[in-house]
Structure 1
Amino acid sequence: MIDPEVAAILPRLNDGFPRVETMTGAAARAAIRARLQPDPDPVPVARVHEQTIPGPAGEIPVRIYWPAARYPVDPAPSLIVFAHGGGFVFCDLDSHDDLCRSMANGTGAVVVSVDYRRAPEHRWPAAAHDVHAATAWASDNAASLGADAGHLIVAGDSAGGNLAAVASLMAREEGGPRIRAQALLYPVVSANFTTESYIRFAEGHYNTATAMKWYWDQYVPELDDRTHPHASPILGELAGLPPTLVVTAGHDPLASEGADLVQSLASAGVPTIHHEHAGAIHGFMTMPVLSLCETARTRAWEDLRALVAQT
């Protein structure tokens, strides 16, 4: 059953979200950006700093958040590299500013939010390479950020969850950096559009199957490439990956692949925590108007801290 607060705003979300599949990537990006309403009173953190870092194809903009309070049991904060969602095409540092502020304060970690290259101008695997490069940079510069490189975490929501998961695979393949945990919020991990949730929630629940197919067409247009683990991380060798937190939304086309990822990680011996919020829709953790959003965030940040502490 859908959450009552979600049900109340769902018609407005369905009617107001652009039909991105009818647009160019640039037009969709502009339409989404035009909908952004910056919070005039953002959640306070200790400090926010913007800079660029070296990337595989030029400088990568990042926004760094220091938490408002430190957890006294930690000698130094954890360090989270975060990749925002947006179908690989849109959203940016501003669209996920509130989530990153909440993440920094809730985990006590320094958060590095990455403004990776977006499709279709920059197709697969450009975004994945940017997030991996940012992860390596964060590890190398942890001390100057006042964080602990030994407590390095990758995180992302939706398409950003894909990029975080791929960054973990790439780090293992390349022998570093060492990642302590990963947090994947309703992640895109497979290009299989025939799952139970894709069929059941194809329309009418904000994120649509048609839009998801369009996102894949923008980022990974070649069908053969979609079976590569750096595009569909669920198809990779999962053994040896860091402990993982997976959050899924019950009324989301991506719910099935998220649950499948949890099962595959567990079968591969990866310590995994899974929270399915049955009444939620895709993207709900970036909707602070919902009580469910704050509940999910609080639980996720607590569990992420626990994962780091246990490994």
Structure 2
Amino acid sequence: MPLDEQAATILRGLNENFPRVETMTGAEARAATKAGRKAAVDPESVGSVQDREIPGAAGPIAVRIYAPATQSAEPLPVVVFFHGGGFVICDLDSHDGFCRAMCNGIGAVVVSVDYRLAPEAQWPAAADDAYAATCWVARHAGELGADPDRLLVAGDSSGGNLAAVAALMARDRSTPSVVGQLLMYPVIEPVFDTESYEEFAEGHFLTRSAMQWYWDQYLPTHRDGAPAYAAPVRAEDLGGLPPAIVITAERDPLRYEGEKYAAALADAGVPVHCRRVEGMFHGFLTIDAMTAAQTERRELWPRLRALAAVRARN
């Protein structure tokens, strides 16, 4: 399906202005993307926003906690969110708009996690931080006004990988209870010759060469035998994982692997809603100004509310 006029304009700007990260160091790529980021003039209002640090496996982890303005007599659902950026770039600010929208859209506390970035901190640093943050949120949900039995994990791109891995770790270690996972065009495994990689290797914002570089920063060795906590589709057993919403974009080199993981979850008996958004490119859902993103969010929020309505069975 062709891009609509607005999407084509935005994609053209991304293709022309987003830095070629594969020509840079990790620090240079972070600096370049931050320099090109425009601060939100009037961010969506929520009830409260709090920046704090929580303990992690290798030191403090910065988080940003969003609470909706709507009052509830009952504790709210809570979403642990992991931002995208190829395990190398982006931060709490880059995904602030999406977290605000999700907080209001599903009426949940959202905890956005500033996990350690590669290449300074390679795998399993980000995965360990993701799991540590998920455990902390479960233990401290009460003080956040949230229900630990209605905890979800969510993320986009590399953050989708970390959400999937956090859910896998929680199942394997029997704690905490996770009732749902939202994986938005997730990074799943270091394979670069899939159908969607061949079709959209260039010209659609995220490129094959950029993804190869991101994986080189995050997992420079053991790529052929990437472990499940780096490439979750390679887990021996996916049974018993929480229900998943998987969103892919038609014009995204990662489309195939996201849909492959959704199919693998379904084959293992995990309830899955997999939706391919036609005519869209990688990253569109977190672009607040995009009409297609707003349309898709209106479709997504009720599905997330339904996941969050089911309490964990302890």
Provide Cα deviations, 1:100-124, integer angstroms capped at 9, x if missing partner: 0001000111000000000000000
CA distance in 1, matches of 2:110, 2:233: 25
Distance verdict in 2 for CA 1:226–1:184, change over 3 Å? farther
SS of 1:149's partner is strand
Q: Which residue of 1 aligns with 2:113?
A: 114
Point out where structure 2 has 5 or more consecutive residues left out of the alignment: none
Task: Report whether the alignment pairs 1:47 with 2:80.
Answer: no
- Equivalent position amino acid for 2:53 in 1: T
CA distance in 2, matches of 1:56, 1:226: 25
- Equivalent position amino acid for 1:66 in 2: A
- TM-score with structure 2 length normalisation? 0.96
- TM-score with structure 1 length normalisation? 0.97
Q: Which residue of 2 aligns with 1:276?
A: 276
CA distance in 1, matches of 2:52, 2:74: 26
Cα deviation, residue 310, structure 1 = 4.7
CA distance in 1, matches of 2:202, 2:225: 23
Distance verdict in 2 for CA 1:274–1:81, change over 3 Å? same
Provide Cα deviations, 1:64-108, integer angstroms capped at 9, x if missing partner: 0001225x6x82210110000000001000000000000100011
Cα deviation, residue 129, structure 1 = 0.3
Task: Report whether the alignment pairs 1:264 with 2:269.
Answer: no
8 Å Cα contact 2:190-2:223 kept in structure 1: no
Q: Which residue of 2 aligns with 1:90?
A: 89
CA distance in 1, matches of 2:245, 2:69: 23
CA distance in 1, matches of 2:248, 2:2: 14
Q: Which stretches of structure 1, 4 residues or more, deviate above 4 A after TM superposition? A: none
Aligned pair count reads 309
Q: Which residue of 2 aligns with 1:61?
A: 62
CA distance in 2, matches of 1:164, 1:9: 27
Task: Report whether the alignment pairs 1:220 with 2:238.
Answer: no
Cα deviation, residue 146, structure 1 = 0.3
Percent identical pairs in the alignment equals 53
Q: CA RMSD in A?
A: 1.2
Cα deviation, residue 127, structure 1 = 0.4
Provide Cα deviations, 1:231-275, integer angstroms capped at 9, x if missing partner: 101111211000001011000000001111111111000011112
Indicate the larger mover: 192-201 or 4-13: 4-13
CA distance in 1, matches of 2:310, 2:173: 24
CA distance in 2, matches of 1:60, 1:308: 25
Q: Which residue of 1 aligns with 2:303?
A: 303
Cα deviation, residue 309, structure 1 = 2.5
- Equivalent position amino acid for 2:230 in 1: A
Cα deviation, residue 302, structure 1 = 1.2
Q: Which residue of 1 aligns with 2:210?
A: 211
Q: Which residue of 2 aligns with 1:17?
A: 18
SS of 1:148's partner is strand
- Equivalent position amino acid for 1:20 in 2: V
SS of 1:151's partner is strand
- Equivalent position amino acid for 1:214 in 2: W
